[in-house]
Chain A
């Protein structure tokens, strides 16, 4: 799914910048063998899984954990997730960093940057912003709606 040339670039990028481990939890379900009328299909679940398998193969620092929610529906409730495919990044980040849908097109770059930033726990934000965020006393839920192109 990822062109060979891009794989080479990302492998080098990870080798240089990805110095700490990161876990990617993917909540997905396999493509059904037959279409059940009335059941909502997860159009990009399979592609997202293949994409993340390819990305995680580019660095030993990246661990991919695939949760099959058809097999274990309670995994969604445990992770407080309502939609799939859902991707949760865990490294040295303090808060939750998640992605819903396939991180393709423009968002692919975002995926790679996310992996590096979450692993290091470094946000590139100013000291002032970091202090303000550290002083939050209530929970904040940011939703950023994007399209792949």
Chain B
């Protein structure tokens, strides 16, 4: 998605290597997705649902 928009930064974080960051976002299972510190969910989503999460995070 970051490929398509200059507004998006997409970070993949290897959770076990960054325990401080993982603790801050309470990562207990993966994949965990956090959007703008505001919305989060576990597991991948179909494209439309993922987009809906992004749009909800910037409402």
Contacts and interface: CB of A to CB of B under 8 A. Distances in A.
Interface stretch (A1-9, A52-60, A61-69, A134-142): A134-142
Contacts of B4: 94-95, 123, 125, 129-130, 133-134
Residue in A99, A132, A144 with the greatest tally of chain B CB atoms within 10 Å: A144
A44 B17 contact: yes
Contact of A118 (B3, B18, B32): B3
Contact of B10 (A43, A95, A130, A145): A95
Interface residues of B, number: 37
A121 B47 contact: no
A102 interface: yes
B2 to A, nearest CB: 4
Nearest to A97: B2
Contact of B5 (A103, A133, A148): A133
B30 to A, nearest CB: 5
A92 B2 CA distance: 11
Contacts of A121: 3
A102 B16 CA distance: 10
Interface in B1-31: 1-18, 21-22, 25, 27, 30-31
A140 B17 contact: no
B10 A148 contact: no
Contacts of B37: 141
Interface in A84-112: 92-103, 107, 110
Interface of B: 1-18, 21-22, 25, 27, 30-37, 47-48, 51, 54-55, 57-58
